[in-house]
Amino acid sequence: MEAQSTGARRGPKPKPDVRDNLLRAGVELFHARGYTATGIKDIVAAAHVPKGSFYNYFDNKETFGTEVIDFFFERRLPKIQALLSNPDAPPLERLRHYFELRIDGSRASGYVRGCLLGNFSLEVADQSPLMRERLAVHFRTWSQLLETCIEEARRTGALTTPLPPSVLARFILNSWEGALLRMRAEKSDRPLNEFMTVVFGTVLV
Amino acid sequence: MEAQSTGARRGPKPKPDVRDNLLRAGVELFHARGYTATGIKDIVAAAHVPKGSFYNYFDNKETFGTEVIDFFFERRLPKIQALLSNPDAPPLERLRHYFELRIDGSRASGYVRGCLLGNFSLEVADQSPLMRERLAVHFRTWSQLLETCIEEARRTGALTTPLPPSVLARFILNSWEGALLRMRAEKSDRPLNEFMTVVFGTVLV
């Protein structure tokens, strides 16, 4: 998943929205600046709520971080599911199309931000078992969707590799995270394009 | 490249060492805590030098960061070169051995820290063109060493894939960075082991 502006809504909102506004601001700021560089005061300012309100909804920055991770992934999940289980396209084409759309998104955003799950994996995983656990859960869900496509490709004879679909799915997702990481340092789509070349030219054959 | 303790030396030192002590403390702290979470006061405290000294050697945190990146990579480069150009082993065995040693190192360190170049790629690449440029230079050097091995494997018939060695080398390095990223979130060597399985089972064939 790449950069996507989720900018917090402006102006006063009824109560039920405050929580969502805070989470939306969290996604936006953690994605743009990182977890450590973003303070709770930045979050409440971006969400246009008084600082005290934050603690009505969240215990501390770490529990807020875990909810931001969930909020980010769960809002993207339906689209990933729809793309990867589209019955009108063969499984390898679905996979290819999914990554092509992600590459288009990265190009459109100027190769910044990358994937929030990947960023958190590097920035907070050593310090926070709580956030680490949420990252692991979502990476698992995500790679299982890839795995289902790969299994289907194998069942239909589109894929002949003897490696287990689960191993291939996790490898592809991890490689994708690495390609996004390198995209951000190179500010170019080359790492993403080469990911496509090698994955669809040698791994998924 | 993974975690490696480079702990700053203790006690007063003659002048020529101050610069190196600061860089060594920079590697240690940026690697352990990240760039944003580490202040100049942490660096000078770890290097046991007065805060004012920092500015005798470095203009600001960003130029210090670029020199830390160089210091980190240049101290590891001779070992990478030696492993990847070892004339006593066939090229694919050299590659495999190189990554196996890196995996041993990650296991020994408890799956923390990952690769400083990868961490900086995510944490600072969007903000600092200066640091981004140094990362790009070192990634290029590193992937060229892999490329030379892959070229040699192809020349000697150990490798038959039609993909260009430069593309394969960059893909493998990027995937390795992704595997390290996921290792830190999973706190397990599975992403690294699956990297080996897929790279040596499907990419380098």
What is the mean predicted confidence (pLDDT) over B141-167? Answer: 96
* CA-wise closest residue to A66 among A137, A17, A143: A137
Helix locations, chain A, DSSP H: 16-33, 40-47, 51-57, 61-84, 91-108, 116-123, 129-155, 165-186, 190-198
According to the model, what pLDDT value does residue A15 have?
A: 64
Give the structural domain span for B155.
Answer: 60-203
What CA–CA distance (Å, rounded) separates A179 from A175?
6
CATH number at residue B88: 1.10.357.10
CA distance A7 to chain B (A): 19
Please indicate, yes or no, if residue A30 is contained in any of the structural domains: no
Residues of chain A numbered 140-169 and touching chain B (CB < 8 Å): 161, 163, 167-168
B16 confidence band (pLDDT: 50, 70, 90)? low
- pLDDT tens digits along B84-104: 999 999 999 999 999 999 999
According to the model, what pLDDT value does residue B9 have?
A: 43
Query: A interface mutation test: which of B106, B122, B190 has the most A CBs within 10 A?
Result: B122
CA distance B173 to chain A (A): 8
Six token digits for residue B145? 């060493």
According to the model, what pLDDT value does residue B2 have?
A: 44
The DSSP string of B96-125 is HHHHHHHHHHHHHTTS-S--HHHHHHHHTT
Please say if the pLDDT value at position B42 is more than 50.
Answer: yes
* B168–A195 C-beta distance less than 8 A: no
With an 8 Å Cβ cutoff, is B114 touching chain A? yes
- pLDDT tens digits along A17-50: 899 999 999 999 999 999 999 999 999 999 999 9
What CA–CA distance (Å, rounded) separates A34 from B34?
11
CB B26 within 8 A of CB B116: no
Please indicate, yes or no, if residue B55 is contained in any of the structural domains: no
Please say if the pLDDT value at position B12 is more than 60.
Answer: no
Residues of A in contact with B120 (CB under 8 A): 185
Residues 6+ apart with CB under 8 A from A146: A84, A95, A169, A172, A173
Q: How many domains does chain A have?
A: 1
Residues of B in contact with A123 (CB under 8 A): 34, 122-123
Please say if the pLDDT value at position B5 is more than 80.
Answer: no
Sign (positive or negative) of CA dihedral A47, A50, A52, A56: negative
Please say if the pLDDT value at position A3 is more than 70.
Answer: no
What CA–CA distance (Å, rounded) separates A1 from A119?
11
The mean pLDDT value of chain B amounts to 92
Residue of A nearest to B124 (CA): A185
- pLDDT tens digits along A79-114: 999 999 999 999 999 999 999 999 999 999 999 989
* B171–A175 C-beta distance less than 8 A: yes
Residues of chain A numbered 183-202 and touching chain B (CB < 8 Å): 184-187, 190-191, 194-195, 197-198, 201-202
Query: Which one of A185, A187, A203 has the shortest CB-CB distance to B198?
Result: A203
Query: B interface mutation test: which of A202, A203, A204, A205 has the most B CBs within 10 A?
Result: A202
At B69, phi and psi to the nearest 5?
Answer: -60, -50
Coil/strand/helix, residue A111: coil
Please say if the pLDDT value at position A150 is more than 90.
Answer: yes
Query: Which one of B136, B186, B195 has the shortest CB-CB distance to A136?
Result: B186
Please indicate, yes or no, if residue A21 is contained in any of the structural domains: no
Please indicate, yes or no, if residue B28 is contained in any of the structural domains: no
According to the model, what pLDDT value does residue B15 have?
A: 63
Query: Which one of B132, B179, B198 has the shortest CB-CB distance to A163?
Result: B198
What are A10-15's contacts with CB under 8 Å, separation 24+? A10/A48, A11/A48, A12/A48
What CA–CA distance (Å, rounded) separates B153 from A20?
54
Find the range with the poorest average confidence among A103-117, B2-16, B178-192: B2-16
Residues of chain B numbered 9-28 and touching chain A (CB < 8 Å): none
* CA-wise closest residue to B202 among A155, A200, A92, A99: A200
CA distance A201 to chain B (A): 8
Coil/strand/helix, residue B131: helix
Query: Which one of A36, A112, A191 has the shortest CB-CB distance to B174?
Result: A191
CA distance A110 to chain B (A): 10
